[in-house]
Amino acid sequence: MDDCDVIFAALPHGLSQEPARQCVEKGIVFIDLGADFRLEKEEEYHEWYGETFIDKDLHGQAVYGLCELYREEIRSSFLIANPGCYPTSAALALYPALKAGLIGTDNIIIDAKSGVTGAGRTMTQNTHFPECNEAFSAYKAGRHRHRPEIEQTLSRCAGKPVEITFTPHLLPVNRGILSTIYCDYDHDPALLRRCYEEAYEEEPFVTVLTDGEYANIRNVKLSNSCHISLHFDRPRKKLILCSAIDNMVKGAAGQAVQNMNLICGFEETTGLTAIAPAF
């Protein structure tokens, strides 16, 4: 540990807290790709992950590592909670509208789909190839452990509590997340589109697609990019957002490297723009 400047941890929940404490005490940056530091409330962490905070002060030092939202806080932090994949897709899609107060906060529905790599390496029946191939279904409807993380981030964006309906689905593909999000709006659609374009015009990894285009996981595969498209059901005053990321890159390792770049003073895109080997 003493020979390291930065340590990345990709451990099961409950196992990152002690090494994180050791790193912070030594002035070593600790980037946790697990869930140990994502939730601010210990009771929620215990409810969804069955663990407790071993050091409340340590958890108070953790910064949520969604670079597009918390860039300045990340730069000066030694402890980063790398966001989950579903929360990354949802937060980037909703942030501009919530921050500007342009959408309602009491009826947000997130319908998200993930490739099977989102389940990790553990063998399960529903990710076994004969089970998931040529199949498509929801899972953990209303009880997925990423819901409190999503609500926590969206509430920060809105400056008030946000509750969501969140249903994940398992796609029969290797990688990628597509979130389709429904929310109420009462403003000119042109204002909403302008809000998104201005929010992300300087962001190297977020692209707001033009009118009529649709976010597609194929177009972000193996990249650290997030593509967002806006669609309007004008008679019903519904804004429909589509957000696509690669769950293994922007939803995990790529975002962790982006955090490291910010902390270490590197160009934020360093190591994240090359074409990755496909599988």
- For residue 201, pLDDT beyond 80: yes
CATH number of 85-247: 3.30.360.10
To which residue do tokens 């080997």 refer? 277
CATH classification of 6-83+251-264 is 3.30.470.20, yes or no?
Answer: no
- For residue 145, pLDDT beyond 90: yes
This prediction has a pTM of 0.95
Q: Which residues are catalytic?
A: 85
Distance, CA of 103 to CA of 94 (rounded, Å) = 9
Answer yes or no: are the C-beta atoms of 151 and 164 closer than 8 Å: yes
What is the pairing mode between strands 29-32 and 63-64?
Answer: unpaired
> Which pLDDT tens digit goes with each residue over 87-105?
999 999 999 999 999 999 9
Mean pLDDT of 264-271: 97
- For residue 61, pLDDT beyond 90: yes
Ordered by start, the domain boundaries in the chain are 6-83+251-264, 85-247
